[in-house]
Amino acid sequence: MDELKHYVQIIKQNLETLSAPDYEGKDEELMRQQEELEKVEHHFLSEINSSESFDQIVNAAVKCASNEISLDELEDEYNLLTK
């Protein structure tokens, strides 16, 4: 599940950037991260048949990025929702 790992990494970076003190280029970095998140989310949307399932995957990915659940748990959730 390389896409999921990549997605979690982007979310982690985004959370770190959001919580960092302001610096030159922060807004541009946030925009770049947002564009990358949207690319990956578009890929997930093509594999998921409902917006509710998509929301569940996004929420699980945020929990994984925040170390509330493991990557294995995220993958299990993804597999359940994409079957």
Token pair 């917006």 is found at 51
pLDDT score, position 25: 96
Q: Is 22 helix (H, G, I), strand (E, B) or coil?
A: coil
23: DSSP letter: -
**How confident is the model over 11-67, as pLDDT tens digits?**
999 999 999 999 999 999 999 999 999 999 998 888 887 889 999 999 999 999 999
Dist. CA 53–CA 38, nearest whole Å? 16
- Burial track 17-36 (b if 16+ CB lie within 10 A, e otherwise): eeeeeeeeeeeeeeeebeeb
User: Cα 38 to the chain's mean position, in Å?
Assistant: 9
pTM of the model: 0.87
